[in-house]
Amino acid sequence: MTATGIGLAAVGAIALSSPQPIPALRPAAASQAVTAPAEGAYWHTRTLWKGTYSHQLGRGKNRYWVEQQSVAERWTALDGRTWRGFRDLGVRPKSAADERAWRRDGSPTTWTRTANGMTASLSTKPDKGMVILDKGAKGAPLIGFDLVDRMLSYEQAQALPTDPAGLKAWIDKASRDPNAHVSDDFRESYVRGQLVGILSEAPVKEVRAAAYEALPTMPGVRSLGKAEDPRGRTGQGFLVDVDSGKGSGGSRQKQFTVTERLIVDTGTMTPLASDVKTTVDGEPFPAKTSTTITLQAGWTDGEPAVPALP
């Protein structure tokens, strides 16, 4: 999966409860000894997500966009059990102009309706948050590292190809499994997206490094060289084509494009930040714009808990 919107929507999705058969691995990789990491008991990621709410708020001429924010964390133990934490941080005006319109609107702190009268439930205050153990449809814990739409054991994750060409071939072969439901015209986009996902989800640095090296060889990916994330951290940047096509737009179909600006820490081979932007007929579309900032990624002994405020 790509580094787009963060939340608990995926928790309820139907997933496989045990590691599934995977395409044949390279013999050299499959024969490597499995070793537990010395750095900690859980593969852990903590991200801050910011996204524009889908509709403007306010009244009359005082209409404004607000930005939603949330923190998400994931802990996966070596035995494959995964805990997810989520905390909504509340909303705030997106820009200085939006803040001025919000103040003219009386500086509300809660909203039950959007500017066009649709039902809303928004607040400027953070909620209490939650942490849950991932479970499948029958209530049993989901077991495995979620990689390339499969639940892989730590041993299987260690055996993934660690060379760029081999990793791309493995993902391509996985996409051809009938259960993957990946069409031929979507296959290239699927491989590209899974390479991005591996950078944050794979617990093996050598596999993440292979994904990093494979990315610029894919159509639809452009290297940006040295780049800075919203927190001033530097890494290597990529511009990734996520999606494009035509959508409904009244009397005619409108052309839309979705791109992701990804910045990778080449020391840890994990993402620093990802900006997803959508344009419609060449114009920015705020309601489909988001930023994900990686606050932590690596092994930890810290136990799963409700995410703290950033």
pLDDT confidence tier of residue 288, bands split at 50, 70 and 90: confident
Torsion, Cα of 189, 194, 196, 201 (10° steps): 160
Query: pLDDT of 119-167, one tens digit each?
Result: 999 999 999 999 999 998 889 999 999 999 999 999 999 999 999 999 9
Q: Is the pLDDT of residue 22 over 90?
A: no
Q: Which of 183-187, 210-214, 244-248 has the highest mean pLDDT?
A: 210-214
**Residue 37 to residues 15, 42, 95, Cα–Cα distance (Å):** 26, 9, 44
Once rounded to an integer, what is the mean pLDDT over residues 236-256?
Answer: 78
Q: Is the pLDDT of residue 27 over 90?
A: no
CA 256-260-266 angle, 5° bins: 165
Once rounded to an integer, what is the mean pLDDT over residues 186-196?
Answer: 95
Closest among 258, 290, 297, 287 to 274, alpha carbons compared: 290
Residue 236 structure tokens: 């290597």
pTM of the model: 0.83
pLDDT at 23: 46
Q: Is the pLDDT of residue 281 over 90?
A: no
DSSP characters over the chain = --S---SSGGGGS---SSPPP-PPPPHHHHTSPP---SS-SEEEEEEEEEEE-SS-EEETTEEE-EEEEEEEEEEEETTSBEEEEEEEEEEEESSHHHHHHHHHTT--SEEEE-TTS-EEEEESS----EEEE-B-TTSPBPBSEEETTEEE-HHHHHTS--SHHHHHHHHHHHHTSGGG---GGGHHHHHHHHHHHHHHH-S-HHHHHHHHHHGGGSTTEEEEEEEE-TTS-EEEEEEEEEEEEEE--TTSPEEEEEEEEEEEETTTTEEEEEEEEEEETTEE-GGG-EEEEEEEEEEE-PPP-PPPP-
pLDDT at 276: 93
pLDDT at 129: 97
